[in-house]
Amino acid sequence: MFQQFSTVGRNNLFFVAAVGILFLQITGCSKSGGESNATALRLATTTSTRDSGLLNVLLPVFESQNNCRVDVTAVGTGAALKIGEAGDADILLVHARKAEEAFINAGHGTRHEEFMYNDFVILGPVNDPASIRDTAPVEALKKIAEGNHWFVSRGDDSGTHKREMSLWEAGGGRRTWKNYLESGQGMGPSLVMANEKLGYVLVDMGTYLKFKEKIDLIPLAAPSESLRNPYAVIVVNSEKHSNVNNSLANALVNFLVSRETQQLIAEYHIAGQQLYFPTRLVETK
Amino acid sequence: MQLLWDGVAGAFQLLIKRDPLVLAAACRSIWISGFAVSFACLLGVPVGALLSQTRFIGRTAVTVLFRAGMSVPTVLIGLLCYALFSRRGPLGEFDLLYSTKGIIVGEFLLALPIIITWTHSSLTSLDSRVAETAITLGAGPVRRCWTYICEARLGITLAVLTAFARCFTELGIAMMVGGNVKYRTRTLTTATALETARGEFDRGVAMSLILLFMAAIVTVLIGGLGRNERER
């Protein structure tokens, strides 16, 4: 009896799978068919801008102004650049200057504009066993390594991970030690891991403010130019990928650097604290 | 489509070059699921056997509960384990979070309902003559249970197979409890998720193909085992 049941189940499963694949193909075809491209913009962005809620403030304004829809894919900077390279997005919002330059130089993008920044912070437990309070970031990392304290690294080629690497470079090379954990996960899970271990972690201000109430870690290292975190938008090269919506992508860039939007960015606060600092406000005044 | 071909080529390259990270993740996946399923069998087979052979009030409810337990999402088990193992949780002092032991506990919880339910259903569908013969031959309750389990070994082998496949390929528990920590708790599934998040799609495809390949090998091995025992 049981066997009979299982064969029926298997047939049903095949049917469901076949219908599913058919459905995917139909929707996939209609998407690349061009009709929806005129009104939809595909944005690949870093997770921090989505998680901090900024895009939820900015994009609806853009959407109603241009009568379009923006489809957001939130991934790490590394993945966003790869998606752009493959032509699977029209516009990218990323934060890793060196990787951005390489992307532009390779001809994958046609327009590159930095439009806001915030800062990274190094968080650690209140008792600060490595005593990095108010030390420069590069020195702080060295101290954490030398004392064999817990440190959680993203290890995922994200903008934050790339920044950690450049901080190590500035200090004479990357180190790994027994309590150096590479989470290979997004900012949120990595922050949770550091909190569980009561260790240190490099995090962007936006994510920190979002998690502030839930964690026992506080910002410790001194603010520094080396922790500046500029965000940029890149228009994907439409000559390489004919399906890229060039005009709408450029419209979004114009929108982001416009005075009104820059003002909106400056006014965006979480828990009474400004998250992002517009870079074009002074110039456009 | 190109991505898939690149992935196939990449998978062979990773295997031929004996990429240490991939091999370590693969071994870790195997032994974590192996331990989880073994423990689940040690507890689940006797419980399944008892459920099918004893009569007590609420037995149907318990059976249905375990059956429903087979469809508990892995992220829910992951969350539950996280809440238990967290620094502030009741089991915080055992340091199970972000450890392979923690993943084993989670996957044990995943495998247990599968083993119990399948053992139970394969024992209840046994030919009634088995029971009659055993009783006629004067077997005690323990001896009788053992006879049933031997008779239903194909069903139980399938239970083990299903449980192993589920544990080996699940992502939620390994990610939430294990944390995908390099050199420590990174398994094939979490490594695949990481490669995708990093934008290394061909490596991601390669890893998932290795996962599929190994799952298939294990399935064939265990399946062959069940067949041999039945024919013997």
Q: Give one DSSP letter per residue of A122-170, joined into a string.
A: EEEETT-TT--TT--HHHHHHHHHHTT--EEE--SS-HHHHHHHHHHHH
| Average pLDDT estimate for A223-244 | 92
Closest approach of A64 to chain B, Cα-based (Å)? 31
- Using a CB–CB cutoff of 8 Å, tell me whether A71 touches chain B: no
Say how far apart CA B8 and CA B54 lie, in whole Å. Answer: 51
Rounded Cα distance between B10 and B12, Å, is 5
Distance from CA of A83 to the nearest CA of B (A): 7
> Are the CB atoms for A264 and A58 separated by under 8 Å?
yes
Q: Considering only A6-15, A65-74, A260-269, B178-187, which range has the smallest mean pLDDT?
A: A6-15
A182 inside 8 A of chain B by CB? yes
Q: pLDDT-derived band of residue B231, with 50, 70 and 90 as boundaries?
A: low
Is A29 a residue whose pLDDT tops 50? Answer: no
Residues A120, A255: contact at Cβ < 8 Å?
no
Give residue A1's pLDDT.
39
Among B44, B60, B59, which Cα is nearest to B110's?
B44
* DSSP letter assigned to residue B56: -
> Nearest Cβ partner of A184 from B98, B125, B182?
B182
State which amino acid sits at residue A56: N
Q: Which of B181, B196, B201 sits opposite A183 (nearest CB)?
A: B181
pLDDT at residue B135, as a whole number: 84
Angle, in degrees to the nearest 10, between helices B100-124 and B59-69: 130
Q: A184 and B196 in contact by Cβ < 8 A?
A: no
The mean of the pLDDT values for chain B is 89
> Which residue among B125, B179, B198 sits closest to A1, beta carbon to beta carbon?
B125
Can you tell me which residue has the tokens 């420069």? A136
CB-CB neighbours of A186 under 10 Å: 21
- Confidence grade of residue A15 (pLDDT, cut at 50, 70, 90): low
Residue B163 pLDDT grade (very low, low, confident, very high; cuts 50, 70, 90)? very high
pLDDT tens digits, residue range A56-96? 999 999 999 999 999 999 888 988 999 999 999 999 999 99
The confidence score (pLDDT) of residue A82 equals 92
HSE-up of A150 (CA within 13 Å, CB side)? 20
Note whether B198 contacts A183, CB cutoff 8 Å.
no
Write phi, then psi, for A34 (nearest 5 degrees): 100, -25
Domains of chain B: 2-231 (1.10.3720.10)
Side-chain half-sphere exposure of A15, counting CA atoms within 13 A = 6
Mutate to test the interface with B, among A85, A157, A178 (most CBs of B within 10 A): A157
Instruction: List CB contacts (< 8 A) between B183 and chain A.
Output: 182
Mean pLDDT for A183-188 is 89
Q: 3-state SS of chain A: helix, strand, coil percent to 5?
A: 50, 20, 30
Average pLDDT, chain A: 86
Q: Does B97 touch chain A (CB under 8 A)?
A: yes
> Which chain A residues are within 8 Å of B198, Cβ to Cβ?
76, 78-79, 156-157
The DSSP symbol for B97 reads T
- The kind and range of the H/E element at B52 are helix B20-53
The answer to whether residue A239 scores a pLDDT higher than 60 is yes
pLDDT above 90: residue B139: no
Task: Out of B86, B121, B190, name the one closest to residue A196 (CB).
Answer: B86
B183: left (phi over 0), alpha (psi -120 to 50) or beta: left
Residue A192 C-alpha, separation from nearest chain B C-alpha, in angstroms? 10
Instruction: Find the range with the poorest average confidence among A191-195, B160-164, B198-202.
Output: B198-202
pLDDT (mean) for A219-244:
92
HEC string of B148-201 equals HHHHCHHHHHHHHHHHHHHHHHCCHHHHHHHCCCCCCCCCHHHHHHHHHHCCCH
Residue A93 contacts by C-beta under 8 Å, 6 or more apart in sequence?
A: A43, A44, A45, A46, A49, A80, A231, A232, A233
* CA–CA separation, A20 and B183 (whole Å): 37
Identify any residues that bridge with A2 across adjacent strands, giving them in sequence order: none
pLDDT at A156: 87
Q: Which CATH architecture has domain A119-228?
A: 3-Layer(aba) Sandwich (3.40)
- ipTM score for this prediction: 0.82
Question: Which residues belong to CATH 3.40.190.10 in chain A?
Answer: 13-117+230-284, 119-228
Which fold is adopted by the domain A13-117+230-284? Answer: D-Maltodextrin-Binding Protein; domain 2 (3.40.190)
Q: Is the pLDDT of residue A11 over 60?
A: no
Q: HSE on the CB side for B24, CA within 13 Å?
A: 12
Q: Residue A13: what pLDDT? A: 52
Q: d(Cα A121, Cα A229) in Å, to the nearest integer? A: 10
Q: What is the pLDDT of residues B38-48, one digit of tens each?
A: 999 999 999 99
What is each CA distance from A179 to A3, A34, B4, B100, B127, in whole angstroms?
Answer: 52, 51, 37, 16, 58
Is it the case that residue A34 has pLDDT exceeding 70?
no
| CA dist., res. A72 & res. A125, Å (int) | 34
The CA distance from A8 to the nearest CA of chain B, in Å, is 18
Tokens 């440190």, residue? Answer: A151
Q: By mean pLDDT, which of A126-135, A140-149, B15-24, B186-195 is the weakest?
A: B15-24
For residue B228, pLDDT beyond 90:
no
Residue A28 has what pLDDT? 44
pLDDT more than 70, % of chain B: 97
State how far the Cα of A277 lies from the Cα of B2, in Å rounded to an integer.
41
- Kindly tell me the sign of the dihedral angle through the C-alpha atoms of A205, A209, A210, A212: positive
Answer whether residue A236 shows pLDDT above 60: yes
Closest alpha carbon within chain B to A47: B197
Q: Give the tens place of pLDDT for each residue, B56-74.
A: 899 999 999 999 999 999 9
